[in-house]
Amino acid sequence: MMLSWQHLLAFLVAIALLVAVHEFGHYWVARRLGFKVLRFSIGFGPPLITRVAGADRTEYMLSAIPLGGYVKLLDEREGEVASHEVHRAFTRRPHWQRILVLLAGPAFNFIFAILLLAGMYFVSGITELRPVIGPVRIDSPAYLAGLRNGDTVIRLDGQPVQAQSAVMLGLLDRLTGAGRATLTLTDDSGRQREVVMQVNDAKTRRELTEPDRLMSGLGFSFWQPPIAPVLGTVVAGGPAAAAGLQAGDRVLSVDGEPITDFLQLRQKIEPMGGRSAVIGYLRAGTEVTARIDIPAEKVGERTIGRIHVTPAPGTRYPDSMLHHQSLGPLQALGAGVAEAWNMTALQARMFWRMLRGQVSIKNLSGPLTIAEYAGDSAAAGAGAFLGFLVLISLSLGFLNLLPIPMLDGGQVVYQAIEWLRGAPLPERAQAIGQQFGIALLVLLMGVAMFNDIARQFG
């Protein structure tokens, strides 16, 4: 998929906001602890807007390249410092204060995510889809383990679960770690049983971690309500529009096979990329047929057929499938802290397993994929975009804590070593560390950009 200006705008808004939060953390703590702040910049490169303010004559800048930012502190390593200000230089402040300033950026990203989560939970509560199993592919790992259509997952390795997302993330975590997970199920009659889902082969486990592969690799999906095959949106210039289909048409058949559900229509079209099909549909009480050319498109890691239509609105999950909880302010804050902790802990485990080769490196995403997600979430509504901001803010906080010399976490390690040994590391050691950090970041960025290009252009 090619990125539109809406994707780029949403991406720039998200990145500028989260970078501002991160850098404000460094700035705010530095000011409170008595460091002199010379510059606070959102973005890199030539300044677009500059304002000098305060007793310290701090420069506040908005720069041309909005993909980062920085806070510049008074520092003897970067030039001569006046004697009356030397006590406010970074290198003259106590080590614990330097470490707090370095940790403040990631901390503010975590706090921002927690406050967003708490606000969403307080305003809307928490609504989750119950983990009711839908179709299970015969001879798949899920089928061989004993999952059947209509089962409800109530516990995962002994821990109660109430949401589809908890089951998916739990399976991802356990199957990439121990390689097995125990599910407690109830069937339609209310009888309980335990099944063990196990993936012994390391290569297969790694493949399950590739984008969009977990559920299809395990061979099951969650139950979805029937969606009438009535077209809600027919994208102008798309294959369906070119064949004459319009919003309000009810699809009756594809190549003579009856269609009774929109999901069935999608499942029929997806493997037909690069071919044509005869679509039967009903319009104003009259049955019509049309031949439609179905292009093959790259979506994530798959190449599928798409005709660029969406279902008509109106279908909703029954109340029996929804678990809703209203929360007060303190409950919402507690839930936000718990969710942020769980997401960050899972991210840390998956990153460590990626370094060990247990998780696919295809999960590393660069700016193109992030921009795509930003635009799609913004188009889906405020709630989805705020959820995207939560995820990226937590990721930004976590990544900056990694002990890589170019990042906040690496600088914390330097300061801790200097504190313990009573003297800075030798310049040679610092130079080697910086070179290693640059090489590692270039490698990670290179892999992420390769993944981006592979997703965009196949």
The beta-carbon contacts of 147-151 under 8 Å, at least 24 apart in sequence, are: 147/183, 147/185, 147/195, 147/197, 147/220, 148/187, 149/223, 150/187, 150/188, 150/223, 151/185, 151/186, 151/187
3-state secondary structure 44-101: EEEEEEEEEECCCCEEEEEEEEEEEEEEEECCHHHCCCCCCCHHHCHHHCCHHHHHHH
DSSP letter at 363 equals G
Residue 270 appears among annotated catalytic residues: no
CA–CA separation, 451 and 317 (whole Å):
35
Nearest to 198 by CA among 183, 216, 209: 183
CA 207 to chain centre: 19
Kindly write down the DSSP assignment for every residue of 119-184, as one continuous string.
Answer: HHHHHH-EEEE--BEEEE-TTSHHHHHT--TT-EEEEETTEE--SHHHHHHHHHHHHHHTSEEEEE
CA distances in angstroms from 346 to 169, 378, 389, listed in the order given: 8, 25, 17
Q: Which of 23, 78, 194, 257 is catalytic?
A: 23
Alpha helix (H) ranges present in 221-328?
A: 239-242, 262-269
| Residue positions annotated with a catalytic role | 23
